[in-house]
Amino acid sequence: MEKVKIEVNSEVGVLEGVIIHSPGSEVENMTPNMVQKALYSDILNLSVAKAEYKQFSDVLHQVTKVYEVRDLLTVILQKQEVKNMLVRRITQHEQVPSLRERLMELDAPALTTALVEGVEITRDNLSKFLSREQFELDPLHNFFFTRDASIVSGHELLISKMASRVRDRESIIMESIFNFHPLFKCNTVNPASENLIYKDFSFEGGDFLIARDDVMLVGTGSRTTPTAIDFLIDHYKNQKKVQHIIVQELPYEPESFIHLDMVFTLLDVDKCMIYEPLLIHSSRYLTIHITINNGKVHIVEEPNILTALKKLGMDMEPVLCGGSRDVMTQEREQWHSGANFFAIAPGQVMGYGRNQYTIEEMNRHGFEIIKAKDIAAGKAVIPDGKKCVISIEGAELSRGGGGCRCMSMPFKRAAV
């Protein structure tokens, strides 16, 4: 198998490789008392969510190379040394050493299922018998949001340090896939595994947007801490390169603001989707421009992301999440990932069709509206070189707290 050198230098370059995780039983392995721990606000209907996700997946399979987490994980678990390492690392991190022997007895496909869907508790002692927990190894309820656990920037892979411990296994699995699968060639950077002075830090992929090879947008709020951005600054200082980091402060509440890509995504080389009430009209949350040049750091405050990008030669036309009808509509559609779009090529993006006013606003900005189910059925095609928004039915998926960008982990894009 020929190795693929990972490379992402923009948010909109033609998609050449992406990792996804089709939701399975791990989503359904949840009861009402587990919702908060699982970082959900409700329980999803798996059959409906799977049907919606299939629209998303079908389109991706038509336009690029698509790899499933389960398939990639099963391949690396066939190597005994990787299996030993991964089982030991996960059982140690999640403090379930008693599971180690049980997991090691499983073959690669069965072990993949256990690591993703969880392992139910065996009530063979009094503590377990009395425990209110249902799982000894928790299911990865959030793993279909593959964006968060790792980030490709240039030829580097950053392994995320998740804000919640229940998602740490996602990062461990993604790091192992990129390090040991024969498909990938990359330079892996894991801040959590290095001897660092950075303590109590976290960062997740939804907060990181690669605007250009030298421009990174980062949200800081409930999931990504300022300390994580300090690590980035030092990382780029050591590389002796010119790098711009535009930092956007985010509210800690409501939960729909967990990541930057819930309020800002790039649609084309000159267009972006924004949640206007926060990014333009609010003065409470700072926009900060950090420049690292030959090891030196310069930090200034900017009026907003658009102004900061324009100073760097990226003049972006904003498209308003929820349209310009009223603030209430903007709030409703932002709540359901109305600003969260994923580009498969410049000006060709995917998003939830349920956000009617956002989709209509995009149409007014020149984006043809195409339904994903029509593409899958052969009733519609993606027009060559023309702007379009491909809408998937996301009424159920959106209740999980993320959109199309959240559900995709691109590892290779063509240059813009």
How many domains are contained in the chain? 1
Query: What pLDDT, on a 0 to 100 scale, did the predictor assign at position 38?
Result: 47
Confidence class for position 121, pLDDT limits 50, 70, 90:
confident
- Structure confidence at residue 191 (pLDDT): 86
**What is the model's pTM?**
0.94
Summarize pLDDT for 315-328 with one digit per residue, the tens: 999 999 999 989 99
Indicate whether 105 pLDDT > 70.
Answer: yes
In the 3-class helix/strand/coil scheme, how is 62-90 assigned residue by residue? Answer: HHCCEEEHHHHHHHHCCCHHHHHHHHHHH
pLDDT at 401: 86
Q: Which pLDDT value is given to residue 162?
A: 93
Residue-range definition of the domain harbouring residue 305: 4-413
- Which tokens in the block code for residue 168? 């740490």
For residue 267, how many C-alpha atoms fall within 13 Å in the half-sphere facing its CB? 33
pLDDT score for 305? 98
**Does residue 62 carry a pLDDT above 90?**
yes
Whether the per-residue pLDDT at 35 is higher than 70: the answer is no
Q: What is the pLDDT of residue 27?
A: 85
| pLDDT tens string 167-199 | 999 999 999 999 999 999 999 999 887 555 556
Contact criterion met (CB below 8 Å) for 258 and 401: yes
- Which among 110, 151, 353, 111 is positioned nearest to 235, based on CA atoms? 151
The closest of 145, 186, 140, 146 to 166, measured between CA atoms, is 140
The values of phi and psi at residue 293, to 5°, are -135, 110
Mean pLDDT of 215-236: 95
Residue 152 in tokens: 């490709």
Query: Which alpha helices (H) appear in 248-400, and where do they start and end?
Result: 276-279, 305-311, 327-335, 356-364, 372-376
CATH of the domain at 386: 3.75.10.10
Nearest residue to 288 via CA among 255, 325, 318, 244 = 244
| Cβ-contact 339, 262 below 8 angstroms | yes
